[in-house]
Amino acid sequence: MEEKQKTNKSEIISIRLDTVTKNKLAYICELEYRPMALHIRKIIEDYINTYESENSLWQKGDYPN
Task: Work out the angle between the directed axes of helices 19-32 and 36-55 (0-180°, nearest 10).
Answer: 90
Read off the pTM.
Answer: 0.73
Which tens digits make up the pLDDT trace of 8-62? Answer: 678 999 999 999 999 999 999 999 999 999 999 999 999 999 999 898 887 778 8
Task: Give residue 60's pLDDT.
Answer: 79
